[in-house]
Amino acid sequence: MPQPASEPESDVEGLLTLDELTARVGISVRNVRFYTTRGLVPPPIRRGRSGYYSSDHVARLELVQELQGHGFTLAAIEKYVSNIPASATPEDIALHRAMLAPWEAERAVEMSRAEITARAGRALSDDELATLDALGIVSPGRRGRYDVAVSQLSVGVGLLDLGIPVEAARAAAGIYAAHGRALAQEMHELFLTTVWPAYKESGTSPERLREVVERLKPLSIASLVSAYESAMDETKRESIARRAR
């Protein structure tokens, strides 16, 4: 659990009142107090009967907001924050935030069925929507609407036109998910043990690190596609060779 921040008792310059803190980060007083009781942020710095907040409180609250924005549950946020040492500076915490946003997948766009029809260029049957759901492109949302990965919709409709079975779509999605998780874990570990320490030691700003990670994303995707194509070609050659024997 984060420990109370330490400041000279005679100095409140640069510190924020609770009202100033909530205005700064856009979080209610109730939520600030709730996060404090859960150990997500340190207790306020006491000056007599008054409590004040520092840049450390701001950074940790912004991290909590970032994690919430990525769909983390409260339990997951608590686990993530527990791994950040109490001695972490606002700059250290900003580096954690820099690692989160750039790797976010495309945000789904909420659409009605009529909007999907217009975007797809034709009506889609319930079975076709089920196939797109299996592929992770169109999934049921709130109030009868759908969450749509817009950039992938035309690709999905193209597969439907080729008659891809829903069972094949589900199996392919499972393969992508399993190998995607393994790749993500290995890349994340590489970044934590090699890339991040080097940039942190050099005093790189969180903004610069965010830019580095953002530029790594398309390179990683291109490298993955290239490796996949090479592996598929090799697999086909091996299959042909086995049949020939």
Q: Would you give per-residue pLDDT tens digits along the chain (245 residues)?
A: 555 554 444 456 789 999 999 999 999 999 999 999 999 999 999 888 889 999 999 999 999 998 988 788 899 999 999 888 888 888 788 777 777 755 555 678 899 999 999 999 999 999 999 999 988 899 998 888 999 988 889 989 998 998 888 888 888 888 887 887 787 778 778 877 887 788 777 877 777 777 777 777 667 777 777 887 888 888 878 888 787 77
Dihedrals φ, ψ of 45, to 5°?
-85, 120
39 and 80 in a single domain? The answer is yes
What three-state secondary structure class fits 28?
Answer: coil
- Cβ atoms of 217 and 102 within 8 Å: the answer is yes
**Cβ atoms 61, 41 nearer than 8 A:** yes
* Residue 126 domain-assigned (yes or no): yes
Q: Is residue 149 part of a domain?
A: yes
- 22 and 84 in a single domain? The answer is yes
Count: domains in the chain: 2
Cα separation, 114 vs 142, whole angstroms: 15
Report the C-alpha dihedral over residues 100, 105, 111, 117, rounded to 10 degrees: 170
Buried b (16+ CB within 10 A) or exposed e, 19-53: eebbeebebeeebbeebbeeebbbbbbeeeeebbb
Are residue 61 and residue 116 in the same domain, yes or no?
A: no
* pTM for this predicted structure: 0.52
Boundary (domain end) residue, out of 88, 118, 139: 88
Residue 40 lies in a domain: yes
**Is position 120 within any domain?**
yes
Q: Is residue 137 part of a domain?
A: yes
Residue 137, domain extent: 109-168
Domain membership of residue 124 (yes or no) is yes
How does 212-224 read in b/e, with b if 16+ C-beta sit within 10 Å?
ebeebeeeeeeee
